Amino acid sequence: MTTAPFIQCRSLTRAYRKGATVITPLRELDLDVPAGDFVALMGPSGSGKTTLLNLIAGIDRPTAGSLIIGGVDLGRLSAARLADWRAASVGYVFQLYNLVPVLTAYENVELPLLLRRMPSRERHRRVALALELTGIADRHDHYPRQLSGGQEQRVAIARAIVADPPLLVADEPTGDLDGESAAAIMSLLVRLNRELGKTLIMVTHDPRSAAHARRTLHLEKGRLVADDRPNAEAAA
Amino acid sequence: MARLPLDYAVRNLGRSPLRAGLSVLGACLVVLLIIAAAGFVTGMSRSLRASGDDRHVILLGAGSEESIERSEIPASVGSLVAAAVPGLETSMGVPHVSAEVHVQLPVRATPDADNPRLLLIRGVTPAAMLVHRSVQITEGRFPRAGHDEIMLGSAAPRQLGLAESDLAVGSTLWIDKSRWTIVGRFAAPGTVMQAEAWTALTDLKAATKRETDSCVVLALGDAEFADIDAFARQRLDLELTAIPETRYYAGLASFFRPVQAVVWATALLIAAGGLLGGLNTMYAAFSSRVRELGMLQCLGYRRGAIVLSLVQESLLAASAGAVLASIVGLAMLDGLAVRFSTGVFGLVVDHTVVALGLAAGLALGLIGALPPALRALRLPIPESLKAA
Ligand SMILES: Nc1ncnc2c1ncn2[C@@H]1O[C@H](COP(=O)(O)OP(=O)(O)O)[C@@H](O)[C@H]1O
Ligand SMILES: [Mg+2]
């Protein structure tokens, strides 16, 4: 028996109209990602990686084709429903962390939980757990400016997982970090995939980061040109 | 809709203490201006309203209904009306009928002082004290006839721009070319009379070389306005018009309505300037946060929740400024005497004026934040995440 893939893209297309010209960063892409997979998206700059990631994260909408995640057809949701879907279903990790400078690490991680009704004890428990999992609990009362890049990214990852979404997306999460911090962040992401079973889609330029993924997709000019599964045996 | 915590708005204010400080100060100045304008208009209207008594009637020269100062009536009118109309208010047999001369004259503290200011001099008989009940002699006494004596209202020094010490009881004043002695001071709170000088009717007529009176003010008692009106209409030879005192001052108030409109227009124009400044500040503040606002939407916060938080931030600054302005307004503007052609009156900063100021402050915070907030959220999320 085959179950439906967690993420299902069919002829997924994103186009921008600029006057008379139409730019199509993503062209009729077909893709299935099973739950619990770890996919690296690679390709030259401008090949459509971020475009695909943003569609999967529910912050952009397809121009054509369909995108179904966890049985939900994202193209059919209203803007408000899509916002609710994001809050429940996806954690976004940015290259530049995007922490709120006026909030402490703890308060930054707490932000997604304020979107749902929850006793404050439970909220506190979850924030503490997320900070613990990402190894940044000792800095919970620090402001972003008091943290290193690697530490900021840990806080950002804690924020992405605190609401326990099944899906994590990351756009060049180590792109702004030195080699050592990058390696530490990568092993954290791998643990989130292996131990917590998060489905993880990650854009990266760095082959060493991509090597941690179970599967690497290569995009070029908005089309999928290669789909490598070096670790396929491990997943199978 | 899940909201962002208020704390987030509060702390965002702290991102730039300078900007927050300027926002509070700007809102404070705009609200203070609106409180001053409202206080001026309220004060002027109230002093004109307080000056009229609905049981008083003024007899004026026909055709001079708009201005007592321009009116001339025979000196006999007072005694004629008292004899002709039964039921007028009396005290110990004296009817409450006050024949008066109203004239604006230049007043100096010394005979050679430059730029004398005009003061309304009211020539009266002792009956004036019976009719104008709000007048209380606070010092000295009522002027006697035949001695060029004068009694000053409490706001007269301000009207003249002279120090209280120059106008103490016993000192002299130069009205036109003649010398007068100050024998008393009186108060008439909230009315135009407090900015006048009163003197004996006969002395003022002698000094101004006139035979006629300006008007007769009387208290109706058991009589009705219709009785006085009938008297004025029957005595065609006297060429009189009777009008209720309240209507006379209401007429003055409507005469000054354009002035009030100009005061409002000026205040609103300056407030609009303040609003534009506030908009500009907020545009700059919010546009530097576009990426962060994109991130919040990424987390699942709706645009409405984010707009609300940005508006809260602006409202916090604006209401702090408005509260500050209300305190300053109450402490420093309320009762502040201003000189105007209606005489001197006090600015009125009452709860209506304060409420208006606070409402203006909130409107300022709301209108100042909404367009910049909507603009900061204008971009689609993917583009806002690319913002600097
Ligand atoms: N909002 C937009 N309007 C027009 N073109 C866009 C927009 N966003 C992205 N693009 C274009 O889409 C293409 C792919 O962009 P992107 O997905 O960001 O590439 P990358 O693979 O580097 O992440 C680029 O050519 C870019 O110029
Ligand atoms: Mg990109």
- Mean pLDDT computed over B43-70: 89
Regarding whether B228 and B91 lie in a shared domain, the answer is: yes
From A55, A58, A68, A65, select the one nearest A27 (Cα to Cα): A65
Half-sphere exposure at residue A113, Cβ-oriented, CA atoms within 13 angstroms: 24
Is residue B382 in a domain? yes
From the list A144, A138, A62, A148, the residue with the least C-alpha distance to A111 is: A144
* Contact residues of B toward A, CB < 8 A: 2, 4-5, 8, 11-12, 14-15, 291-292, 295-303, 380-382, 385
Rounded Cα–Cα distance for residues B32 and B44 (Å): 18
Please report whether residue B63 resides in a domain. no
The pLDDT of residue A182 is: 94
- What are the chain B neighbours of A112 within 8 Å (beta carbons)? 299-300
Are B262 and B187 within one domain?
no
* Average pLDDT score, chain B: 92
Contact B338, B35 (CB under 8 A): no
B211, B238, B265 - which closes a domain: B238
What letter would DSSP give residue B202? Answer: H
Gap between the Cα atoms of A71 and B116, Å rounded: 90
Contact B300 A98 (CB under 8 A): no
Distance of CA B70 to CAs A8, B67, B102, B191, B212, Å? 93, 6, 9, 21, 11
Q: Are B317 and B20 in contact (CB under 8 A)?
A: yes
Could you tell me which of B40, B82, B49, B67 has the C-alpha nearest to residue B250? Answer: B49
Contact residues for A127 (Cβ-Cβ < 8 A; gap 6+): A106, A109, A110, A113, A140, A158, A162
Q: How far is CA B42 from CA B250, B332, B340, in A?
A: 14, 16, 14
- Residues in Cβ contact with B262 at an 8 Å cutoff, skipping those fewer than 6 apart: none
| Under 8 Å between Cβ of B228 and B220 | yes
Interface subset of A 124-183, CB within 8 angstroms of B? 159
List, in order, residues 6 or more apart from A78 with CB less than 8 Å away: none
Nearest CA in chain A to B386: A96
Same domain as B146, residue B217? yes
Same domain, B142 and B233: yes
Query: One digit per residue, pLDDT tens: chain A, 236 residues?
Result: 467 899 999 999 999 998 899 999 999 999 999 999 999 999 999 999 999 999 999 999 999 999 999 999 999 999 999 999 999 999 999 999 999 999 999 999 999 999 999 999 999 999 999 999 999 999 999 999 999 999 999 999 999 999 999 999 999 999 999 989 999 999 999 999 999 999 999 999 999 999 999 999 999 999 999 888 865 544 43
Please indicate whether, in this complex, the C-beta atoms of A59 and B381 are within 8 angstroms of each other: yes
Terminal-to-terminal C-alpha distance of chain A: 15
Answer yes or no: do B295 and A115 touch at CB < 8 A.
no
d(CA B373, CA B303): 10
User: Cα separation of B87 and B277, whole Å?
Assistant: 64
For A:97-116, CB contacts with B below 8 A are 98, 100-103, 111-112, 114-116
What pLDDT shows up at residue A231? 55
Sole residue written with tokens 């707490």: A110
Are B144 and B172 contained in the same domain?
yes
- pLDDT more than 90, % of chain B: 74
Please indicate, yes or no, if residue B159 is contained in any of the structural domains: yes
ipTM of the complex model = 0.94
Residues B273, B355, single domain; the answer is yes
Instruction: Find the radius of gyration of the CA atoms of chain B.
Output: 29
Q: Could you write out the DSSP letters of every residue in A210-221?
A: HTTSSEEEEEET
Which pLDDT tens digit goes with each residue over B186-232? 999 888 898 899 999 999 999 999 999 999 999 999 999 999 999 99
Q: Give me ligand 1 centre to Cα B383, in Å.
A: 10
Could you tell me the residue range of the domain that residue B271 belongs to?
A: 6-49+256-386
**What is the model's pLDDT at position B73?**
95
Q: What integer pLDDT is reported at residue A236 of this predicted model?
A: 38
Domain membership of residue B154 (yes or no) is: yes
What is the domain count for chain B? 2
Same domain for B13 and B88? no
Longest dimension (CA), chain A: 56
Ligand 1 atom, smallest distance to A48 CA? 17
The Cα–Cα gap between B331 and B92 comes to: 45
For residue A51, the ligand 1 atom closest to its alpha carbon is 17
Residue B160 predicted with pLDDT over 60: yes
- On whether both B262 and B190 belong to a single domain, the answer is no
What are chain A's domains?
A: 7-235 (3.40.50.300)
Say yes or no: B311 and B195 in one domain: no
* Beta-carbon contacts of residue B202 (< 8 Å; ≥ 6 apart): B123, B145, B146
Angle, to 10 degrees, between the axis of helix B245-255 and the axis of helix B17-51? 140
Task: List pLDDT tens digits, range B99-113.
Answer: 999 999 999 888 888
Q: Are B147 and B22 contained in the same domain? A: no
The per-residue pLDDT for range B118-140, each reduced to its tens digit, is: 899 999 999 999 999 999 999 99
Q: Which residue of chain A is at minimal alpha-carbon distance from B2?
A: A115
Same domain, B310 and B229: no
The identity of residue A22, as a single letter, is V
pLDDT of residue A2: 62
Same domain, B17 and B84: no
Cβ–ligand 1 distance for A48 under 6 Å, the answer yes
Position B246 in a domain? no
pLDDT at residue B90 greater than cutoff 70: yes
Residue that the structure tokens 């900021």 belong to: A152
CA count, 13 A, side-chain hemisphere, A77 = 21
Q: What's the confidence (pLDDT) of residue B252?
A: 84
Backbone angles phi, psi at B21, to 5 degrees: -60, -45
For residue A136, give the DSSP letter: -
The answer to whether B215 touches B240, Cβ cutoff 8 Å, is: no
